[in-house]
Amino acid sequence: MNDNLEKKIEAVLFWKGEPVSIKKLSQIFEKTEEEISSALKILETNLSGRGIVLVFKEDEVTLGTSKEFSDIIDKLTKEELVRDLGKAGLETLSIIIYQGPLSRAEIDYIRGVQSNFIVRNLMIRGLIEKVPNPKDQRSFLYKPTFEMLSFMGLSKIEDMPSYSEARAEIESYKNTQMKQEEAEAVKDLESEMESTENPTPYTE
């Protein structure tokens, strides 16, 4: 009846790994907010008794872990906090430290790959936090936490080694990438226009 809408929502929430507004889900699936709410109720029922639950906050929803498994999740979280961040984690954290606050789309752009799971990992460790994006209420910005600064013995983010230089270098890289993309777009447009103005002669 609802075209398995609740299953599709579950997939999107799992992939996002962060709260999504009902309005945004409505836009994604081209359904009314009432239909989304009904599908969420079905999904909530279907998840009953399992390890995953729906977590609601105001008009947003996300996937979370069941309270009855909080002990094991807490244990795994503590283990995760002491594990090596790895190259990708350090790279992402460095970008957020030296270029933040910035959106996940900007992080992905700088790294050249999707960073949703790494960002989520850094949040679990308490190294970064997300705050509302003043320019776009549909998205969030990510920045270092006070805990991270305190752990590193810093009073402010600007005290990071070579902060100004690193920030300028990343900004320069972004600008260079944008110029290259713009140049390629112009080149493609010119080629398309040229092919339109000088079509290939027809031959039998």
| Residue boundaries of the structural domains of the chain | 5-68, 84-159
How distant, in Å, are the alpha carbons of 10, 57, 159 from that of 64?
11, 12, 36
Q: Per CATH, which fold does 84-159 belong to?
A: Arc Repressor Mutant, subunit A (1.10.10)
Contact 97, 131 (CB under 8 A): no
Residues in the chain, pLDDT under 70: 1-2, 77-84, 150-155, 174, 181, 183, 185-204
CA dist 81 and 148 (Å) reads 12
CA dist 1 and 51 (Å) reads 27
Write the single-letter amino acid at 4. Answer: N
Quick check: pTM over 0.75?
no
The distance of Cα 91 from the centroid of its chain, to the nearest Å, equals 15
SS3 for 57?
strand
Question: At the top level of CATH, which class does the domain 5-68 belong to?
Answer: mainly alpha
pLDDT for 40 equals 95
Contact 165, 93 (CB under 8 A): no
pLDDT for 203 equals 54
Domains 5-68 and 84-159 share a fold: yes
pLDDT for 194 equals 66
CA dist 83 and 202 (Å) reads 66
Residues sharing a CB contact under 8 Å with residue 192, sequence separation 6 or more, in sequence order: none
